[in-house]
């Protein structure tokens, strides 16, 4: 891990303080791993891994995630908590680096045990996390063997369920409402998938074009993109976009590889601290 930074899931971004806290060492030896993946440490603090979406409760994928995380806790402590902020529940949320230099979030993504949720400020770091997820997906590791996690097509709104999803499609036109720019993926926003870009997204945080400069949100019209975030029903399926790394430009139209069988903890052939 070259540099450290704070990352937040889309849902947590609006809850966090604006100023990161000083880095701190986490005593993992006396900590307890909670069923939701939160680490409860002896001083009473609760620590959440930032930037990940984990399908906890969807066994066996969640069991594999907790097993790997518990192994890192037991065998590679103490941890270093980087760029932490507090969420609305008072928990510390940030990046984790182990005693042996393993970047925990990157490892979990590369093993296919989580999806990248966005909220990373540093472009190089967000690219590294996206690359880890993409490598796991291409190799059908972990959750990417389970059809629950496939990249959804914006052309099939009935397949886009509520909850965290990754959705790919062509931005057909762009509309504007009060405080929100709408990315329309179909002809009828009452039924089709829509992305809503809020005022919280900084213009300089959008994906970059061929010249390396950030695109305007209106430059996305006519482009194939991949959005990630929490879907809810607002007429058709709707995803709120608050961070630039929830938007990926896609060079070509193609389906992501997925095999229709469940993820299994037996897929984890790497020991803690091994190089992936």
Q: Is 96 exposed, middle or buried (0-12, 13-18, 19+ CB in 10 A)?
A: buried
Q: What local confidence, expressed as pLDDT, does residue 192 receive?
A: 96
Q: Are residues 14 and 138 in the same domain?
A: yes
Tell me which of 90, 111, 146 is where a domain ends.
146
| Per-residue pLDDT at 60 | 60
Which domain CATH number covers 81? Answer: 2.40.50.90
pLDDT in tens, the chain (276 residues): 322 222 334 343 344 445 778 999 998 888 888 877 889 998 889 998 988 998 665 556 678 888 999 999 999 999 999 988 898 899 998 899 999 999 999 999 999 999 999 987 778 888 999 999 999 999 999 999 988 899 999 999 999 999 999 999 999 999 988 889 999 999 888 899 999 998 888 888 888 887 888 889 999 999 999 999 999 999 899 999 999 999 999 974 443 433 222 233 333 323 322 222
275 in any annotated domain: no
The answer to whether residues 52 and 119 belong to one domain is yes
Same structural domain, 129 and 27: yes
Q: Is residue 218 part of a domain?
A: yes
Q: Indicate whether 260 belongs to any domain.
A: no
Q: What is the pTM of this model?
A: 0.80
Cβ atoms 87, 20 nearer than 8 A:
no
User: Domain of 130?
Assistant: 10-146
170 with 233, same domain: the answer is: yes
């Amino acid at each position: 891990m070259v540099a450290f930074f704070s990352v937040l899931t889309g849902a947590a971004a609006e809850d966090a303080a604006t100023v990161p806290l000083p880095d701190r060492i986490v005593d993992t030896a006396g900590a307890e791993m909670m069923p939701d993946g939160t680490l409860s440490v002896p001083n009473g603090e609760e620590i959440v891994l930032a930037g990940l979406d984990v399908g906890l409760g969807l066994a066996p994928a969640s069991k594999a995630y907790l097993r790997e995380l518990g192994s890192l806790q037991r065998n590679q402590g103490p941890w270093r908590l980087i760029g932490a902020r507090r969420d609305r529940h008072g928990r510390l949320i940030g990046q984790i680096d182990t005693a042996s230099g393993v970047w925990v979030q990157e490892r979990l993504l590369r093993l296919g045990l989580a999806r990248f949720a966005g909220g990373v400020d540093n472009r190089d770091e967000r690219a590294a996390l996206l690359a880890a997820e993409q490598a796991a997906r291409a190799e059908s590791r972990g959750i990417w063997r389970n059809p629950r996690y496939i990249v959804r097509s914006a052309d099939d709104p009935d397949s886009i369920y509520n909850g965290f999803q990754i959705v790919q499609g062509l931005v057909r036109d762009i509309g504007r409402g009060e405080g929100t720019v709408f990315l329309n993926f179909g002809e009828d926003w009452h039924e089709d998938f829509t992305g809503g870009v809020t005022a919280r997204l900084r213009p300089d945080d959008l994906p970059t074009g061929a010249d390396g400069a950030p695109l305007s949100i209106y430059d996305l019209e006519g482009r194939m993109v991949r959005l990630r975030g929490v879907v809810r029903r607002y007429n058709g399926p709707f995803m709120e976009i608050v961070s630039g790394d929830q938007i990926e430009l896609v060079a070509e139209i193609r389906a992501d590889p997925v095999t229709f069988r469940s993820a299994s903890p037996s897929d984890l052939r790497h020991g803690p601290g091994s190089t992936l």
